[in-house]
Amino acid sequence: MQIRKARVDEAQALSDLALRSKAHWGYDAVFLEACRAVLVVEPSSIEAGLVTVVEIAGRIAGFCSLKPLEDAIDIDMLFVDPWAIGQGCGAHLFRHAREQARALGGGRLIVESDPNAEAFYARMGMTRYAEHESNVQAGRMLPLLALDLEKEQTS
């Protein structure tokens, strides 16, 4: 398993991977089509060095995209291709994202999680601090999770 920076020419492939990963949870076609617009990996994020991929045997198995905010670093996207789920790719990407967030000066790492991914983030040490209504589907609540990076370093 190898981590590397994404390349701009991979933006569409990463966007497609995100949609495949979302589909893994059994969402219907209507919901997935509504998600398509928000699961786009922007070339500008890749150019900024904020998108990382994990490969297994030279094949992209997943990726993570970070977004620096005023008071935190947001895990904008973290997706693993369905064929690679259960092989440790998500944890590998998360640990790398945590270190990137520290390098970017972030005191907190946050994520607006899919409900199905909340348990994964909890295993990574994140805790729920609120929830937020989805901008894709009215009434669907998404957990907001955080990890205090400063507190984590001192413990």
**Tokens 């937020």 belong to residue:** 132
Mean pLDDT of the chain: 92
What gap in Å lies between CA 91 and CA 96, rounded to an integer? 9
Kindly state the average pLDDT of the residues 77-90. 95
What angle is formed at CA 133 by the lines to CA 132 and CA 136, rounded to 5 degrees?
Answer: 130
- Alpha-helical runs (H) found in 8-50: 11-23, 29-36, 43-47
What pLDDT shows up at residue 152?
62
**Closest-CA residue to 17 (of 59, 74, 46):** 59
The answer, yes or no, to whether residue 155 has pLDDT greater than 60, is: no
User: What CATH number should be reported for the domain whose range is 2-154?
Assistant: 3.40.630.30
List the domain boundaries for the chain.
2-154
CA 69 vs. chain centroid, Å, equals 15
**Tokens 């490969």 belong to residue:** 55
Kindly state the average pLDDT of the residues 123-140. 92
What pLDDT shows up at residue 106?
82
The three-class DSSP label of residue 42 is coil
What angle is formed at CA 66 by the lines to CA 60 and CA 71, rounded to 5 degrees?
Answer: 165
What gap in Å lies between CA 28 and CA 146, rounded to an integer? 29
Please report which confidence band the pLDDT of residue 150 belongs to, taking 50, 70 and 90 as the band edges: confident
Kindly state the average pLDDT of the residues 135-144. 90
What pLDDT shows up at residue 9?
96
Q: Starting at the edge strand that comes first in sequence, how are the strands of the sheet with 127-133 ordered?
A: 2-5, 51-56, 59-68, 73-80, 108-112, 141-148, 127-133
Q: What are the φ and ψ backbone dihedral angles of 16, each rounded to 5 degrees?
A: -65, -40
